[in-house]
Every structure is written in C-alpha cells, then in structure tokens.
Amino acid sequence: SYSVLPSFRRLYAVAENYNEAQYHTGDTVRWQPKPGAVISGNPAFPAKLNTSFYPLPGAAHEVATISALTGIDTLPGEQLTPTLLLRLLGAEYGPDFYYLACHGVSHPRYPIDSSFLLLAADAQHPNGRLSAREIQAARGIDPEVYNTDRDAWVFLSACETGLGQMQDAGITGLARAFVLAGARNVWMSLWPVDDRAAAVFMPIVMEELQKPAQFFPAENFRRAVERFRAIDPNPAHWAAFSLMGVPYPVHVNGKLIR
C-alpha cells in the first residue's frame, strides 16, 4: 500500500499532528462522510464550445452507484458549474468529500492555466472549464502554507488529472491544485481512462474505503485494485489511478474505530 506524497512540506505539516497522537499499531480507521458531500458525474458541458469532447454515460452510471453505496444524493450534471464548485471549496465549513466524474485535461507546459476540469457552463465560465489556478486559489490561502484543516477527500474520476509539469516540489497540476484547496487525499489518473472500466472500478474503491484499515486510506485502495484485477486484469483499466496524500493519524475525529 502506498500513496503519492504531494511534497515534503505537506508531510511535515501533517507530522506535527502525529506527534500529538498516541499511535498504536492495532488501531484502524475508516471514512465517514459529513453532510454536504458532493457527488456528480457527466456534467452538461457546452458541447458547441468543446467539440472534441463527448458525453460520459458511464460516468452517470458510476456516480449513481457511488450514491447508492454512500447514501449521498447526486448533484445533477447541469448544476455542477465551476462557480458552484469554487464556492464550496472556498467555504469555511465546506464539504469534506467531492466525487467528480467528468472530463479532465492536463497541460504539461502550462499546468496551472491550461489544465482544467470540464463542467457545466455559468456566467463566469461560458465554456465550462475550471482551471487548476482557480481551484488552488479557491480558499484564498497562501499555497506554500499547505493547510491541513479542511481534511477533504477529492475523487477525480477523469482523464490525466495526475499529470502536469515536473517541479522541484512535485507535479504541478490539477491534483496538487485540490491539495492546495484543502484536500488531504486526492484520487487521480495518469492517462485517459476507460469510461466503462472506471464505472466498475471506482465503486469497488468506495466499498473498500468504508472498511477499517491500518494504513488508511492507501491500504483500502490497494484492496480495491486487487479485487478489480480479479475481474479485469488489463492494467490500462486500473493502473491509471493513484492516490495522492498522506495516511491519517488515528485520532482524527469521525474516523477512529476502536
């Protein structure tokens, strides 16, 4: 079980919390969502302004399954706009869980301004594109601080969300933008993912995340990969997904199981 570290600075910030906790190897944790979680898929993006993109019917089925597993209502695709998502990310007591099944584009040369998620259009975003720069600035916090107070999970069930530009501090792009916006863990993809395969794989991930584990949530993610490989061994359908973040200290409220 492993996860991708956003930066050593991030690890240092979280390690301060570890020092305050009494960690026991027998302790296990699991995820329990707070009210207000966001689950949405196949956003109604403006097709005339994005002719190279196509609808994602598998994503719609995917989020319906995730909704049934978690008991969280889905947000209709026509309501998932960049302005709404930025408002939720920037709220002082915003949601701690975002599941977004949509199109994603990562630009290797301009990873902040030209990497984006494709959502439904609004007045400020007539093309429906939400850039990495807007995401990382959603909370108005210095990006070098790496605040850990939000403790959010973000699932980017989209193409190439783990790519970007190599920097001394790591990969700059969409996944890191969500970390800067308050995400503690981000599920990301390293290449264009198969819409139908993701609709099967990601619900398995969600099932495993609701089970206790010691190296949480990376251990849960590894279990999900093993289950899916028994169904579909093609690495093109499962190996694209990675987990960015650090494991939880066992004292996190709402996640400790004794």
How far separated are the first and last CA of the chain, in Å rounded? 22
> Can you point out the beta strands (E) in 64-212?
97-101, 103-105, 116-118, 129-131, 152-157, 165-167, 170-172, 183-189
Which residues contact residue 1 at a Cβ distance below 8 angstroms, ignoring those fewer than 6 apart? 215, 218, 219, 221, 222
pLDDT band at 14 (very low <50, low <70, confident <90, very high): low
Cβ atoms 228, 204 nearer than 8 A: yes
pTM of the full predicted structure? Answer: 0.88
Lowest mean pLDDT among 6-10, 172-176, 199-203: 6-10
Among 170-184, 205-219, 221-235, top mean pLDDT goes to 221-235
Look at residue 213 in the predicted model and tell me its pLDDT: 81
pLDDT tens for each residue of 142-193: 655 555 556 788 999 988 888 877 776 677 889 989 988 888 889 999 888 8
Shortest CA distance to 203 belongs to which of 41, 73, 63?
63
Q: Which two three-digit tokens encode residue 221?
A: 């993610």
Beta-bridge partner residues of 29: 213, 256
Look at residue 201 in the predicted model and tell me its pLDDT: 93
Give the SS3 label for residue 168: coil
- Tell me the C-alpha distance between 17 and 248, whole Å: 10
Cβ atoms 234, 200 nearer than 8 A: no
Q: Which two three-digit tokens encode residue 206?
A: 């969600």
Look at residue 256 in the predicted model and tell me its pLDDT: 44
pLDDT of 241 above 50: yes
Q: What is the mean pLDDT of the chain?
A: 84
pLDDT tens for each residue of 34-79: 778 999 999 999 999 999 999 988 888 999 999 998 889 999 999 9
DSSP character for 114?
A: S
Beta-bridge partner residues of 98: 38, 154
Cβ atoms 111, 173 nearer than 8 A: yes
Shortest CA distance to 193 belongs to which of 127, 120, 104?
104
